[in-house]
Amino acid sequence: MWSAAQMLSDNKSDIPEPLVVGTSTDINGSVSTDTIVQKNCSLHVRGNLVGSLTIEPGANVVVEGSVEGKIVNRGGRLVVNHKGLAACVTLDGPSEGEAGAILKINLTAIVSNWERLARHTDAECAAVVKCNAYGCGINPVAGALAKSGCRTFFVTNVSEAKRVRTVAPNSTIFVLHGFFFGTEPSFVELNAQPVINSSIELAQWDAFAAAAGRTGGCALNVDTGGNRLGLSVEEAVALAPRLCTLTHGITLLMSNLANAEKPNDRQSERQIALFRELRRLYRGVPASLANSSAILLNPKCHFELVRAGSALFGINPTPGSFNPMHPVVELRARRRALAFGLRMPHGGR
């Protein structure tokens, strides 16, 4: 059997060593240990500092999230850019002390990823927060993005549109699953816009808009070769003459690239050329084709609106290359020290 002294020694080994910063350091993510920034050194953390922070004379520290532990400043400089995001704390399940693991979603990292993508284009950068913001929580994520300047959101359904509207009251909201009978009151109440994916759906929306006296408010999604939902190119061409009326009701022309993550892809080039031809027919209507990958890899398809999706949550938009996005999800679990003993056979000595 292990002795008590051995077990105590093993437990000590589970205590993480402090992070000692002895040069200029940039960390994309949170730091869960105590941190010491030495004299005249700098540290930039794009996340939270969970442990204590000691700043030596002349040191410079910038934290994009929050500092949860004790701060000892011996003559350096500390900047904590909460941006109002770290104040959003949602607890589900047992308390942190009782939980076996803690899952944290870094809202500051999500906003930083959106800002990075927005800087790569002259177009407006919308946020795709479908499927409960990719499982990260649509309310806090949309609220953080709205506070940082995001004006347009794409959601899965009317239920998600309601949640975004509560935290982003002045935003434009597009519903990707489109329009269904029975959802009319919600679209009116929320001032949400459906993404129309078929001629039948458009006819249903037109009938509702006429009865409700609405003169606009839907996006037209066209399948240009991405093998997703959408009107055919032929249907989109046939619908173009309706733009001659003031009440045509189309606020966005959109499509999806099949291989946006592949630079110089021939199919993408064909899709871009086809979408440009459609855009000429829909002159005056804003257009959107680029997703996260295309924002970084293909500026030719940015048009008036780009749609940042999975990259907001740390997923690499450029597979095979360095991930330019900050990590968003952090999982910390407890480790339990176990003592193992050797049991002798019955009668052994």
For residue 282, pLDDT beyond 90: yes
Mean pLDDT computed over 260-269: 90
pLDDT value at position 226?
66
The mean-pLDDT minimum among 26-30, 173-177, 262-266, 318-322 falls in 26-30
Number of residues assigned to the chain: 349
pLDDT of residue 242: 87
What is the phi/psi pair of residue 121, to 5°?
Answer: -150, 155
pTM of the model: 0.74
3-state secondary structure 193-250: EEEECCHHHHHHHHHHHHHHCCCCCEEEEECCCCCCCCECHHHHHHHHHHHHCCCCCE
Residues 251 and 304: their CA atoms lie apart, in Å, by: 12
Output the furthest CA–CA distance in the chain (Å, rounded): 98
pLDDT value, residue 218: 93
Over residues 25-42, mean pLDDT: 89
Residue 269 corresponds to which amino acid? E
pLDDT tens-digit profile of 143-162?
Answer: 999 988 999 999 999 999 99
* Section 59-84 average pLDDT: 80
What pLDDT sits at residue 336? 66
pLDDT score of 4: 38
Phi, psi of 294 (to 5 degrees): -65, -30
What percent of the chain clears pLDDT 90, i.e. is strictly above it?
53
Would residue 128 be called left, alpha or beta, if left means φ above 0 and alpha means ψ between -120 and 50 degrees?
A: beta
Mean pLDDT for the chain overall: 85
The one-letter code for the residue type at 109 is A
Q: Are 285 and 252 in contact (CB under 8 A)?
A: yes
What residues form DSSP beta bridges with 80?
Answer: 63
Q: What percent of the chain has pLDDT over 70?
A: 87
pLDDT band at 331 (very low <50, low <70, confident <90, very high): confident
Higher pLDDT, 71 or 277: 277
Residues 6+ apart with CB under 8 A from 43: 21, 25, 27, 35, 37, 59, 60, 61, 62
Task: Cite the residue boundaries of each domain of the chain with CATH code 3.20.20.10.
Answer: 107-313
Q: Rounded to 5 degrees, what are φ and ψ at 301? A: -115, 25
Domain 107-313: give its CATH code: 3.20.20.10
Over residues 108-123, mean pLDDT = 91
Q: Which of 341, 306, 337, 309 lies closest to 325, judged by CA?
A: 309
pLDDT at site 244: 82
**Burial class for 54, CB neighbours closer than 10 Å (0-12, 13-18, 19+):** buried
For 334-347, write each residue's pLDDT tens digit: 776 555 555 545 54
- Which of 224, 220, 190 lies closest to 205 in space, CA to CA? 220
Examine the pLDDT at 231 and tell me if it is beyond 90.
yes
pLDDT for the residue 12: 46
Q: Which residues pair with 218 in a beta bridge?
A: 250
Calculate the alpha carbon distances from 161 to 133, 173, 221, 333 in Å: 12, 7, 18, 34
SS3 37: strand
Distance CA 125, CA 304 (A): 9
Average pLDDT over residues 280-303: 95
